[in-house]
Amino acid sequence: MLHPRAFKVTVVWTLALLFLGSIVHATESSLACPDWPTCFGTMVPEMTGGVFWEHLHRLVAGGLVLMFALATWLARRETSDRPWIFRACLTGIALLLVQSVFGGLTVIYQLPDLVSTTHLTLAFSFLALATVLAATSDGATGTGGNQRSAPPAIEGFGPGVGARLRTRSAAAAALVLVQSVVGALVRHTDGGISCPDIPLCLGQVVPPLVNIQITSHFLHRVFAIVATVAVLTLAGWALRAEMPPKVRRWVVGAAALVIVQVALGVWSVLSVLDVPPVSLHTLVAALLIVVLIIAASFGARAGLPATAEQPARAGSVA
């Protein structure tokens, strides 16, 4: 089957798009093309300076729409036994189209905070949906009359471990997603250095929340602590729980990513929003969401029944 590969390419493509979007903002290239959807009245502007990053971002975004449209078409042909996948694909296309409109509005209205924040929030939401589709289709194979569109079950979990892994990983992913949305608000309200000191904020544990910049930055740090504790606690539990080693490595990988993410956040503040740490900070947050959703999908597959056509395979993961 081709649709699992198409969904995986979509996830990687979305990660690249988020990274590019972060570079666009960090280099102050968001308005390098003052019009939309063209750039200085053309689709092939001179790719120099900020125009390079902004127009490249638009081109990659257009490619993502086409890629996911292909994935949707393939899924429609190959998953007739699971119609919810096609409906989820239609939701994803709607998200992409709405996000594209918000991308245009950010340019036309010159970066209004709420519109820009919504644009990035939709991007993270689409990434989560695409990852669910990729993880759900993982392992689906077959040709001719013996196709298998459902992923294989995974053996090697202790009693109840799969269900707990699914719940805890999904909850951690939701926390990171909320944290990322608050981070989008920090970015687009220019609150990145509202608290220039670490670990305190303006020399206080709780700073005076007198404006949206300080408030959003402080909330971003609070959610960072909550999300970090959740992911590290999940990893600590996974090291003790009975589960396939390959699945455990994904959870431990999430713990490594969250530590890197905290370090990048500190670097971003201390460097006064230098481009590399700020851009990587967004990318690692997106990667963390992907890894946690994949871990949750493994937990969900722990309870799938095995059949003659769909045997359970110990520790079978991508």
Q: What angle do CA 111, 35, 93 make, to 5 degrees?
A: 75
**Domain spans of the chain?**
1-142, 153-303
Q: For residue range 223-232, list pLDDT tens digits in order.
A: 999 999 999 9
Q: For residue range 41-75, list pLDDT tens digits in order.
A: 999 999 999 999 999 999 999 999 999 999 999 98
What is the residue type of 225?
I
The pLDDT assigned to 309 comes to 41
Q: For residue range 73-93, list pLDDT tens digits in order.
A: 998 888 877 889 999 999 999
Q: CB of 90 within 8 A of CB of 103?
A: no
Residue 94 scores a pLDDT above 60: yes
Q: Is 151 left (phi over 0), alpha (psi -120 to 50) or beta?
A: beta
Q: For residue range 215-269, list pLDDT tens digits in order.
A: 999 999 999 999 999 999 999 999 999 999 999 999 999 999 999 999 999 999 9
Average pLDDT over residues 283-311: 80
Confidence of residue 149 (pLDDT cuts 50, 70, 90): low
The span from the CA of 154 to the CA of 299, in Å, is: 8
Q: What angle do CA 221, 216, 122 make, to 5 degrees?
A: 100
The pLDDT assigned to 192 comes to 92
Burial of 237 (0-12, 13-18, 19+ CB in 10 A): middle
CA R_g for the chain: 21
Residue whose pair of structure tokens reads 């309200």 in the numeric block: 189
The pLDDT assigned to 170 comes to 96
Residue 316 scores a pLDDT above 50: no
Q: Which helix (H) or strand (E) holds 4?
A: helix 3-26
The span from the CA of 126 to the CA of 3, in Å, is: 17
The pLDDT assigned to 154 comes to 84
The span from the CA of 164 to the CA of 88, in Å, is: 25
DSSP letter for 246, please.
Answer: H
Burial of 99 (0-12, 13-18, 19+ CB in 10 A): buried
